[in-house]
Amino acid sequence: MDQFKSILKVVFKKLSVDLGVAESFIVDLHDEENSWSFISKLAQLIEGVFIKVLVRRLNEPEIFNTISNLPQSVRINFAHDLKIISRDQKYLFLTVAEIRNDYIHNVSNVGLSMSDYFSSLKEARVKEIFKRFKPFILDEKILTPNNFLSDCTNQIFFVCASEISRMYGRVEGIEAERRHNSFRSEQAEKLLPKKINGTMYLEDRMVVYNYIKIAREILKKNGLLSSVSCAKN
């Protein structure tokens, strides 16, 4: 467990900076003794991550406040539509939001542990919650809803931490690809020969043909155009 938490600290280092929280905030949630505080902070963390990944995925910093003001269920569905999260992840995070709303909004639950809270729910609801978490549970001992109840805080934390990391990494990858494509375009533009008189018309077939031929050779030589692309064209 300590080893896994050490790995999480490394994984969440950049995310902590992006969210503006202490580097240890995310991992320290695991040791939160008060269940009320645990689920509240975890849900707020997940909301913060969804806001960040949506803004970054859309590459529109100006819409931060708009995304922030959306209900969490809308943000989750939006992320699913953008293929940031899978269908199973969508239902996982929706379930966490539902648990948070039900648990936190009932003031009588203040002193109730997570385990006791789940035990107070109807059996069908517990089975539904377990079903949403099951695809992401790595512990081979957690095979039934009762197994889940006996270790619910640990399972909720590690499942959510893992899937937050996966979601954040997916957006990081999309951003890296966007930067790479932008760099390639900029490099290609610098390398291409200047157009004659700044413009070429369709009537100037030979001029256009020679321009394209030279441009392809330059791009291919500099690794900005694959041989496959050349063959297709």
Q: Does residue 227 carry a pLDDT above 60?
A: no
Number of domains forming the structure of the chain: 2
For residues 116 and 77, state if they share a domain: yes
For residues 169 and 202, state if they share a domain: no
What are 206's two structure tokens?
């030979």
Range of the domain at 156: 2-177
CA 11 vs CA 27, 38, 54, 196: distances in Å: 10, 20, 19, 52
User: What pLDDT band is residue 67 in, cutting at 50, 70 and 90?
Assistant: very high
pTM of the complete model? 0.76
For residues 146 and 207, state if they share a domain: no
Q: CA-to-CA distance for 126 and 144, rounded, in angstroms?
A: 10
For residues 54 and 166, state if they share a domain: yes
For residues 209 and 98, state if they share a domain: no
Residue 187 lies in a domain: no
Q: Does residue 94 carry a pLDDT above 50?
A: yes
Q: Which amino acid is at 127?
A: K
Residue 183 lies in a domain: no
Q: Does residue 22 carry a pLDDT above 50?
A: yes
Residue 69 lies in a domain: yes
Residue 186 lies in a domain: no
For residues 55 and 168, state if they share a domain: yes
Q: Does residue 8 carry a pLDDT above 80?
A: no
For residues 196 and 171, state if they share a domain: no
For residues 209 and 125, state if they share a domain: no
Q: CA-to-CA distance for 193 and 121, rounded, in angstroms?
A: 70
Highest mean pLDDT among 107-111, 130-134, 138-142: 130-134
